[in-house]
């Protein structure tokens, strides 16, 4: 089932969502790359950091959401493209496509089922010695996700949301093994951020802009408010506010930086 993204809602927590991107980028020691691609660039605010860091590079931002790309076009000096990141991982038997020096993908691969299978194709797109860096959420066992899953499985919601997209990821060791088998140097790690949120239902506001959005959009207009009310109640119970109205949202994220072998064919 298709869904659309809302750049404004996504950017409501721009600082919190941006920190993992900055932490990921800090571990990519590429020098003077010519071609840099951001797969799943969203509204482009973080892609701009790539252009700032590597000023001589040709930077391209790619996202499957026309709404996100339309918002990104406000950032000048970067090529923006509506596209599916899976196309970037497809074989190029005639070697017609330009090799890439750095591929970055921030909080995107979790939306692609079986995305482990994409890693060999993405490594193939790189120049020898090029870099692949990505970050995915690793918090799918947390109430922010399980409450939605449990609620969506109940009547009268289940029949409407069974085909809604649900994000998923693997553990760092799974990504590391695939990339090590491809001959890459690999740096993989995880971090749990503690986001301090405020507002009436801040965790709902957070997830409704990302992981819960496909489920919410799949519901008919007459059921969505009821689902949202029940979902908010579950989240308030799982993430209670303190006396000052602050809610702490733990958020585990998984990071991988891999370097393609230099001058050695990738199997």
Q: Specify the pLDDT at position 132.
A: 98
Q: Specify the pLDDT at position 81.
A: 96
Q: How many CA atoms lie within 13 A of 2 on its CB side?
A: 4
Give which of 45, 22, 132, 50 is closest to 85, Cα–Cα.
Answer: 132
Give which of 36, 28, 86, 2 is closest to 256, Cα–Cα.
Answer: 28
DSSP-assigned letters across all residues of 130-180: EEEEEEEE--TTSHHHHHHHHHHTSTTTHHHHTTS-------HHHHHHHHH
Both structure tokens of 61: 């931002």
pLDDT digits 0-9 by tens, 93-105 = 656 688 999 999 9
Asked if residue 185 belongs to a domain, the reply is: yes
Q: Specify the pLDDT at position 9.
A: 52
Domain carrying residue 108 = 7-259
pLDDT digits 0-9 by tens, 31-40 = 999 999 999 9
Asked if residue 86 belongs to a domain, the reply is: yes
Asked if residue 173 belongs to a domain, the reply is: yes
Asked if residue 265 belongs to a domain, the reply is: no
Give which of 140, 160, 142 is closest to 227, Cα–Cα.
Answer: 160
Q: Where are the alpha helices (DSSP H) in the chain?
A: 7-10, 14-25, 47-53, 66-72, 85-88, 119-124, 143-152, 158-161, 172-181, 202-208, 213-218, 224-238
Task: With beta carbons less than 8 A apart as the criterion, state whether 119 and 267 touch.
Answer: no
Asked if residue 251 belongs to a domain, the reply is: yes
Q: Specify the pLDDT at position 209.
A: 79
Looking up residue 121, the CATH number of its domain turns out to be: 3.40.50.150
Asked if residue 58 belongs to a domain, the reply is: yes
Q: What are the 10-residue block averages of pLDDT along the chain, 267 residues in total?
A: 49 71 94 96 92 96 92 93 92 76 96 94 96 96 94 94 89 98 97 94 89 88 95 97 96 97 63
Q: Specify the pLDDT at position 14.
A: 62
Q: Specify the pLDDT at position 5.
A: 46
Asked if residue 267 belongs to a domain, the reply is: no
Domain count, the chain: 1
């Amino acid at each position: 089932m298709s869904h659309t993204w809302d750049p404004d809602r996504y950017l409501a927590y721009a600082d919190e969502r941006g920190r993992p991107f900055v932490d990921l980028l800090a571990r990519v020691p590429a020098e003077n790359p010519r071609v840099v691609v951001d797969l799943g660039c969203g509204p482009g605010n973080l892609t701009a950091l790539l252009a700032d860091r590597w000023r001589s590079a040709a930077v391209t931002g790619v996202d499957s959401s026309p709404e996100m790309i339309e918002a990104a076009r406000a950032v000048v000096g970067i090529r923006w493209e509506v596209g599916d990141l899976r196309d970037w991982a497809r074989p190029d038997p005639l070697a017609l496509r330009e090799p890439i020096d750095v591929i970055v993908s921030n909080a995107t691969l979790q939306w692609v089922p079986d995305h482990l299978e994409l890693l060999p194709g993405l490594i193939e797109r790189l120049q020898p010695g090029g870099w692949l860096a990505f970050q995915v959420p690793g918090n799918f066992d947390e109430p922010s996700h399980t409450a939605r899953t449990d609620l969506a499985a109940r009547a009268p919601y289940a029949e409407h949301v069974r085909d809604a997209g649900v994000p998923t990821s693997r553990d760092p060791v799974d990504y590391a093994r695939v990339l090590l088998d491809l001959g890459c140097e690999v740096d993989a790690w995880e971090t749990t951020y503690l986001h301090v949120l405020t507002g009436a239902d801040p965790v709902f506001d957070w997830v409704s802009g990302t992981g819960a959005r496909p489920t919410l959009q799949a519901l008919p207009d007459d059921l969505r408010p009821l689902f949202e009310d029940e979902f908010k109640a579950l989240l308030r119970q799982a993430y209670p506010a303190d006396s000052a109205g602050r809610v702490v949202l733990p958020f585990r994220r998984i990071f991988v930086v891999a370097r393609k072998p230099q001058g050695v064919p990738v199997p």
